[in-house]
Amino acid sequence: MIATTPALLVQPDGQVDEIMLDSHRPDQLRCIRFYVHGARAYPLGRRAVVHVGQNRETVNNVAGQAWMSVTSGSRPPVLRGPVVITGPADRTGDFTPLPALSADAVRRAAGLLSGTFAVAPDVSVAQHRGGRAHQCDAYAVKRDKGSGRWAFAVLDGVGDTPEARRFAQKFAPRVARAAALYCDPARALAAARIEARNESRWGFDPATDPSAVAVVAVADHRSPLIRFAWCGDARAYRLTPIGTAVPLTRDHNFAEEQRSRGRTPGPYDRDFITSCLMRGSITAGVVERKYARRLLLCTDGVHAPLERRGREVGGILDLATDAKDAATMCVADALKAAGPEDVPDNATALVVDFSRS
């Protein structure tokens, strides 16, 4: 039986989780390095050891506050990225469990930074069926009561069939609920993929046929970060403080593959997706909320016609007075941008405004 030693993993977004280290020092260090790349140890007297990486990741204010709590006010160096906190090393060099009082101080430090936004975000969604027979877009907004996290998901069922509609409507709330619970949008999409593949009632082959593309974002009031993930060509945009829209996602389709190889995409290459909820890449990212005045999640029924007509999403988001106005304008302008020869696609725009108080 391998003995283990508990330690605390402190994330920049305020999450504090207990991890278990193997009993011997080389294994303990190996485990710490799994979470903290290029780990360096800072002994805090006889009470704790802080293991932090040498990198350019987000500043970990929670770990900094925990440092000051454990040391009764001593100022820490700039701590970045995930941090592991253990007890001091014993005579053999093995790290011991963090004393209970020090562990409580770390958790209290995380609680001190829990008021980033106390007011619920302003969320609004606009949808239009376009010229299709079925509305195969779906969306969901979920809040995890235990943590207070909010998650937002937009799915676009591939095709124009009742089954594509049912698929998107079933998995949108499940993805949003899992993302809010775990604060991990990519994990939520991966869990939905496993569930969808294990169901035999769908009338398509998950190995070859597309199902739905998705984009999901999570906001935690204890964290300065917005986490997001996507598969396919559903997109997320942030509105910058100066009124421009920056795409947070990069389409998983043949057009992007061509561009990555230095080639010019053909006129229909964007229509061939290379990832969906059933298969292909799931990509994740983060953005600091202070750099996102407004967040837009949308399907290609919104961004594709606007792009074809040279319309800027940023101009629409910047002109809108609130989230409802922004979502409505995005969908309305996308429908107007569709040419007379086009059959307008399903269009969905979900807009989030975070309180600045």
Contact 155, 172 (CB under 8 A): yes
Q: Which of 223, 216, 141 is nearest to 184 (CA)?
A: 216
Q: What would the mean pLDDT of 235-245 be, rounded to a whole number?
A: 93
Look at residue 119 in the predicted model and tell me its pLDDT: 62
pLDDT of residue 59: 84
Q: Quick check: 80 and 60 in contact, CB under 8 A?
A: yes
Whole-angstrom Cα distance, residue 142 to residue 340? Answer: 38
Non-local (6+) Cβ contacts of 263 within 8 A are none
pLDDT in tens, 59-89: 888 888 888 888 877 888 888 888 999 999 8
Share of the chain above pLDDT 70, in %: 89
CB 278 within 8 A of CB 210: yes
Q: Measured between alpha carbons, how far is 233 from 236 in angstroms, rounded to an integer?
A: 10
- Of 59-63, 260-264, 326-330, the one with minimum mean pLDDT is 260-264
Q: Provide the Cα torsion 18, 22, 27, 28; round to 10°.
A: 40
pLDDT at 322: 93
- The CA distance from 225 to 163, in Å, is 36
Cβ atoms of 236 and 226 within 8 Å: the answer is no
Instruction: Average the pLDDT over 286-310 and give the result.
Output: 92
Q: What is the mean pLDDT of residues 148-165?
A: 92
Higher pLDDT, 46 or 339: 46
Q: What is the pLDDT of residue 3?
A: 59
Mean pLDDT of 117-126: 79
Task: Quickly state the pLDDT bin for 113 (edges 50, 70, 90).
Answer: low
Q: Is the pLDDT of residue 303 over 80?
A: yes
Look at residue 255 and tell me whether its pLDDT is greater than 60: yes
CB 226 within 8 A of CB 217: yes
Question: Which residues lie closer than 8 Å to 225 by C-beta, 6 or more apart?
Answer: 12, 13, 58, 286, 287, 288, 289
Mean pLDDT of 287-305: 93
Please choose, from the candidates 36, 11, 219, 32, the residue with its C-alpha nearest in 3D space to the C-alpha of residue 107. Answer: 11
Distance CA 107, CA 69 (A): 10
Q: How far is CA 142 from CA 147, 192, 216, in A?
A: 12, 16, 11
CB neighbour class for 296 (10 Å; exposed up to 12, middle 13-18, buried from 19): buried
pLDDT at 116: 44
Fold classification of 122-353 (topology level):
Phosphatase 2c; domain 1 (3.60.40)
Q: How far apart are CA 273 and CA 258, in angstroms?
A: 12
C-alpha–C-alpha distance, residues 216 and 7, integer Å? 31
pLDDT in the model for residue 202:
67
Query: No. of H helices and E strands in the chain?
Result: 9, 15
CA–CA distances in Å: residue 154 to residues 15, 131, 233, 284, 351: 25, 20, 11, 15, 11
Q: Is 295 helix (H, G, I), strand (E, B) or coil?
A: strand
**pLDDT band at residue 115 using 50, 70 and 90 as cut-offs:** very low
Q: Which pLDDT does position 298 carry in this prediction?
A: 98
Q: How would residue 264 be classed by pLDDT, with cut points 50, 70 and 90?
A: confident
354 vs 357: CA distance, rounded Å: 9
pLDDT band at 353 (very low <50, low <70, confident <90, very high): very high
What separation in angstroms does the CA of 169 have from each of 151, 236, 283, 328? 16, 19, 22, 21
Give the whole-number percent of the chain exceeding pLDDT 90.
45
Residue spans of the domains in the chain: they are 4-112, 122-353
Average the pLDDT over 22-37 and give the result. Answer: 85
